[in-house]
Amino acid sequence: MTQKFKGIIPPMLTPLLSNWKIDNDGVKKLVDHMIDGGVHGIFILGTTGESTSLSYQTRRALIEQTAKHVNNRIPLLVGITDTSLEESLNLTSLAFDVGAAAVVAAPPYYFHLGQEELSEYYWDLAERSKLPIFLYNFPAMTKISMTVETAVRLSEHPNIIGLKDSSADIEYFHALKEALNRENFALFAGPEEILAETVMMGASGGVNGGANLFPKLYVKMYEAAKATDFETIKILQKQILEIASLLYTVGKYNSSYMKGIKGTASLLGLCKNYMAPPLKPFLQKEMIEISNRLERIQSNLKNMPL
Amino acid sequence: MTQKFKGIIPPMLTPLLSNWKIDNDGVKKLVDHMIDGGVHGIFILGTTGESTSLSYQTRRALIEQTAKHVNNRIPLLVGITDTSLEESLNLTSLAFDVGAAAVVAAPPYYFHLGQEELSEYYWDLAERSKLPIFLYNFPAMTKISMTVETAVRLSEHPNIIGLKDSSADIEYFHALKEALNRENFALFAGPEEILAETVMMGASGGVNGGANLFPKLYVKMYEAAKATDFETIKILQKQILEIASLLYTVGKYNSSYMKGIKGTASLLGLCKNYMAPPLKPFLQKEMIEISNRLERIQSNLKNMPL
Amino acid sequence: MTQKFKGIIPPMLTPLLSNWKIDNDGVKKLVDHMIDGGVHGIFILGTTGESTSLSYQTRRALIEQTAKHVNNRIPLLVGITDTSLEESLNLTSLAFDVGAAAVVAAPPYYFHLGQEELSEYYWDLAERSKLPIFLYNFPAMTKISMTVETAVRLSEHPNIIGLKDSSADIEYFHALKEALNRENFALFAGPEEILAETVMMGASGGVNGGANLFPKLYVKMYEAAKATDFETIKILQKQILEIASLLYTVGKYNSSYMKGIKGTASLLGLCKNYMAPPLKPFLQKEMIEISNRLERIQSNLKNMPL
Amino acid sequence: MTQKFKGIIPPMLTPLLSNWKIDNDGVKKLVDHMIDGGVHGIFILGTTGESTSLSYQTRRALIEQTAKHVNNRIPLLVGITDTSLEESLNLTSLAFDVGAAAVVAAPPYYFHLGQEELSEYYWDLAERSKLPIFLYNFPAMTKISMTVETAVRLSEHPNIIGLKDSSADIEYFHALKEALNRENFALFAGPEEILAETVMMGASGGVNGGANLFPKLYVKMYEAAKATDFETIKILQKQILEIASLLYTVGKYNSSYMKGIKGTASLLGLCKNYMAPPLKPFLQKEMIEISNRLERIQSNLKNMPL
């Protein structure tokens, strides 16, 4: 069953209008762009999708419109991360109704939880969810790192089918990989810089923000890693690192990635450059910088074996 | 105008039923208990009120029912803390409609914000809010500490009328106090252990969780501190410290305070012992411990000059 | 016995020459300045004294020269904080030989210790030390916060006679105060902003960096707090806050306090403006700023009841 | 010149006697064991070597005895990490005198430094050092993460020839790799779980604690990674992960790695099971567990292609 959860599953940007409502045209363009690029699934309402900044009405609209446009061409995963279990379950119901393949849940991120509390929370969620669940470890945001022991215990619930790790802690990822080494459990790493190495070491794929922009590049990297085609990996890795070092580093604060990826998507015509508060889109000065850097990347991409 | 925001303003527990809906009887009992105890205001939907664990439907129900029962006897403050500005504004509108006196907003707590981003967020909120706003600094939960500079800048907006600091960082509090020393700006400290000293040093009052349980004790302490009545302060301080060291320390993890205060309130007959996930109420073993400790405190309270 | 450890015990700056050797003239001037100001003890080789930046030869020289000049006029406390127990014991022996009254030890600060490890470490130290020991809690520097339980356990060793808390966590300080409430155990808080309130609440005194510069101010505040003379407290508190907000905030990074206090001392003629790496003294631009601010403070100090 | 810094350079355990003096027999056995296993260099006085827990006398003895026994068979690197620049320079002089190839310095770890302060510190060190310097990034211990920009700036000093990263942050490592991509700059990752992948991606080698115990395993992995021999890598990786998950996880606190590796070395007859405070060696109960786990590993190692 979980075989369908593999490969490149981009955490989709949320195309917004100036009033923070869903830009339906943007959704269509972005979905088609990624499917044309060969991605293996789409994950909406993750961190990259500004999920927590959106009202529930907006989240519901995005779920409905994306599902309609994906139209079962590839699996759709829906982020239900919330501080309220009730609201997470409400979103899960809707995801089920529109035919999503799975939901993805990071820990509730307001209170500081202990491992047992975290474990009970996920178990309750799994008991009540109509869809299979991906765990989502992102300690920088949620203030808790799911231990390997907790992940192993949770993986025993039939409704918990995978884990996405965005900790960027590679020791942890290897420990998870060793402990959760089973056919039917999918393991994904977030940071795109380690897509190749984690897939070579046995990960199911990557949930890479950059695949909103350049889906073919990440899909090709996934295939090269599966084939341990080292010549191709080296060439593509250089390119993937360049994207991170150029497009995700403009501006200050921790929001450079979020603002950079949306700004770039707008330059590529995939969506408009609006963001929901508390994050604000780059203004002209930063957008000129992004534009110059994007030009350089696009020029290099022409020489890639995509 | 802000003179009404002073004294003891307890962060009200949210009385829940087993299905996580509002326990309206509990709301009435708790509100009356605190007003009978002399508190100067009531703050709903704060951290102690499990705000972020409640669905929006439940939050709305609480706002409506509490406002109805308080019935303008004392000022009502409503927590609107959220990761989505839109949802915060929705709650603000309702708070305005039911006659609340002000809203209280901690920073959005998912993304790591910078000070400028934080400042812009609050300014936007203040521009759009129909009610005056209290800033709420709680870095342990929100991953950002509002600098003194940011607080000073924000205090210049006419719609921003006060700040509640739950950082427990006393150096910070004193720096705030010095920088925001104005007639019309209210400053409250969260931790009840420092109620007396912060009020003596010029704070407007305290937002103390323990005042759900023993409102008279905190009201008396506020009065003693205003009068620099040191004999009384010493006696009451011992009692307040004992409450913290006995009732907020059972169990493990960081939730001891949350579970202890709700469990105690249930023993006092003020509400039922239900909590919204991800937190779970104490079970029998811990409740027996709480019960024993409460007995000790009640026995001591009899000798207090309340 | 511990009655001698009370009042204002400044953490002495280490007067250095350009080659990072001890400036013996500076030591004499600084010691006399503080004793003339009425301080109740002197604590060398603390954080403010740049202890960890000094070579052992230099630390030894400072111990010898300070002891000689203090000449038992007031108690001398010697910081022995180190990552190596052997080196801490070496310093303790020297402190004993020169007639110091006690040693002060923060936890070893390289490895992340657990509470049991910390407890065993201090117990070993106490067993081997020829001098009574002050515990020193400073989690920002040592990466571990001594729990109240650990402090209570350690306080049972006859050689452990006090605790200095620089956590600035007032809830923690109150919990310590309640748990360690004994005649023969001395409790000091670091941040000078809370000197008055902690002494009023029962602390033994303050270990305040600013008392290097203006010893009379802090001594007077200690006396006012002991007498709960609120009128005087209010006046002096304003001054103490101003010193912190003006002199400890120039420059960037976390070293503003360290650089500001040494720069100010040099302007007051108490020592030269040299610091041991990795910290570097302020250069001309920042020193002009410090000088301007110092002038303002000195002008205000003239109106203080000192 | 830096070509000699490549391959497996174990951070050597420090063999101690019960009085915390150097166990010279242990030094000889451990050095020979590693050189027989094919390691490409030896790094003494790192974190694994308990450097900061040793007195200076002991550190000096270790430098002298190790240099004498290595006798230039392979390059010797000496850790000079300290909070005092003077003491670091003292150790550097000795390292130079005994013929060491380079020194390794983590940032001073008491004060919270800024990037500029860090940069100036290293530049000063490089100016004064008689030996080439490896930077050592270990934010968990030193409370500062050297930014890529700082590393690039420092790499321009002719005396700074490499960097060891123990952050376990793989995004950071890739960013470093991209920015420092030069012939004459050596880059090593600490965590052994990523030895293979970092070498495949261009790292110079690994500084792996486990190579104290099983040097052949890590040397073989290095060679397999250089040859991108994926079949061998997969087999060895499983073994390396098993060592980490079995031998570095007994006990509690963060010292499991330190205590586990020394305990295992004692079981292998490489040194005695003494540690310098504040860390204490495992007692019987934990040693039985380590012994059982070691047996399992040794049995598996027999089937490895070493």
Tell me the average pLDDT across B92-105: 98
Q: Topology of domain B2-228, per CATH? A: TIM Barrel (3.20.20)
Q: Can you give the pLDDT at residue C3?
A: 59
Q: Give the amino acid at B196.
A: A
| Distance between A64 CA and the closest CA of chain B, angstroms | 20
pLDDT for C143 beyond 50: yes
Q: Choose among D49, D26, D45, D37: nearest CA to D258.
A: D49
In angstroms, the first-to-last Cα distance of chain A is 30
Alpha-carbon gap, residue D88 to D91, rounded angstroms? 5
Question: CA dihedral defined by A46, A48, A51, A54, rounded to 10 degrees?
Answer: -160
Residue C1: predicted pLDDT:
44
How would you write the pLDDT of chain A (306 residues) with one tens digit per residue? 445 799 999 999 999 999 999 999 999 999 999 999 999 999 999 999 999 999 999 999 999 999 999 999 999 999 999 999 999 999 999 999 999 999 999 999 999 999 999 999 999 999 999 999 999 999 999 999 999 999 999 999 999 999 999 988 878 888 898 888 777 899 998 889 889 988 988 899 999 999 999 999 999 999 999 998 988 998 999 899 899 989 999 988 789 999 999 999 999 999 999 999 999 999 999 999 999 999 999 999 998 888
From chain B, pick out residues whose CB is under 8 angstroms from the CB of A58. Answer: 86
- The H-assigned helical ranges of chain D are 24-36, 56-70, 85-97, 115-128, 139-142, 148-154, 170-179, 195-200, 215-226, 230-247, 256-267, 284-301
Mean pLDDT of the C244-254 span: 89
Q: Which one, of A148, D6, A191, D114, lies nearest residue A135 by Cα?
A: A148
Nearest of A50, A43, A32, A45 to residue A9 by alpha carbon: A43
Query: Read out DSSP for A103-167?
Result: EEEPPP-SS---HHHHHHHHHHHHHH-SS-EEEEE-HHHHS-PPPHHHHHHHTTSTTEEEEEE-S
Sort out which chain A residues have CB atoms less than 8 A from B278's CB and list them.
83, 85, 107-108, 111, 113, 117-118, 120-121
Dump pLDDT digits (tens) for C41-100: 999 999 999 999 999 999 999 999 999 999 999 999 999 999 999 999 999 999 999 999
pLDDT of residue C22: 98
Interchain contact A75–B (C-beta under 8 A): no
What token pair was written down for C172? 């923690």
Nearest C-alpha neighbor of C191 from the set C133, C132, C245: C245
* pLDDT, greater one: A305 or D106: D106
**Is there a cis peptide before residue D132, judged by omega within 30 degrees of 0?**
no
Angle at the Cα of A168 (from D243 to A171), degrees rounded to 5?
Answer: 5
Confidence of residue B2 (pLDDT cuts 50, 70, 90): very low
Tokens coding C179: 């748990």
Assess A123–B contact: CB distance below 8 Å, yes or no: no
Residue B163, beta-bridge partner list: B135, B187
Identity of the amino acid at C252: K
pLDDT band at B3 (very low <50, low <70, confident <90, very high): low
Q: What is the pLDDT of residue B163?
A: 96
Q: Do chains A and D touch (3 or more CB pairs under 8 A)?
A: yes
Helix (H, G, I), strand (E, B) or coil at D33: helix
Mean pLDDT for chain D overall: 94
Q: Distance between CA atoms of D284 and C273, rounded to whole angstroms? A: 54
Tokens for B18?
A: 């087993």
Check residue B200 and give its pLDDT.
87
Q: Which residues contact A212 (CB under 8 A, 6 or more apart)?
A: A10, A11, A12, A13, A30, A33, A34, A48, A261, A265, A270
Q: How far apart are CA B129 and CA B190, in angstroms?
A: 24
Three-class SS state of B134: strand
Q: Which residue of C has its CA nearest to B242?
A: C178
Q: How many angstroms separate the first and last alpha carbons of chain B?
A: 30
Write the residue in C170, C230, C242 that is nearest to B170 by C-beta: C170
Which of B56, B273, B90, B49 is CA-nearest to residue A88? B56
Instruction: Report residue A272 CA to chain centroid gap.
Output: 19
Which residue shows structure tokens 């210790």?
C113
Q: Which pLDDT tens digit goes with each residue over D178-215?
A: 888 777 899 998 889 889 988 988 899 999 999 999 99
Q: How far apart are CA B209 and CA B206, in angstroms?
A: 9
In 3D space, the residue among C97, C176, C92, C181 whose CA is nearest the CA of residue C132 turns out to be C92
**Residues 223 to 262 of D: which have CB under 8 A from any A CB?**
228, 230, 237-238, 241-242, 244-245
- Chain D residues closer than 8 Å to C279 by CB: 111, 117
Listed residue (B119, B183, B178, B128) closest to B146, CA to CA: B119
Asked which of C73-87, C183-197, D274-288 is least confident by mean pLDDT, the reply is C183-197
Nearest to B191 by CA among C168, C236, A141: C168
Q: Where exactly are the structural domains of chain D?
A: 2-228
Q: What's the gap in Å between the CA of A67 and the closest CA on chain D? A: 32
Instruction: Write down which chains contact chain B via at least 3 CB pairs under 8 A.
Output: A, C
Q: What is the pLDDT of residue D252?
A: 83
Cα dihedral D49, D51, D52, D58 sign: positive
Instruction: Spell out which residues of chain D touch residue C53, defining contact as CB-CB under 8 Å.
Output: 83-85, 108, 110-111
Distance from CA of A66 to the nearest CA of D (A): 31
Q: Which of D55, D84, D109 sits opposite C109 (nearest CB)?
A: D109
Min Cα distance A103 → chain D (Å) is 26
* pLDDT in the model for residue C2: 46
Considering chain D, what percentage of its residues have pLDDT values greater than 70?
A: 99
Residue C177 has pLDDT above 70, yes or no: yes
Average pLDDT, rounded, for chain C: 94
Q: In the predicted model, what is the mean pLDDT of residues B185-194?
A: 89
Strand-pair partners of D44: D78
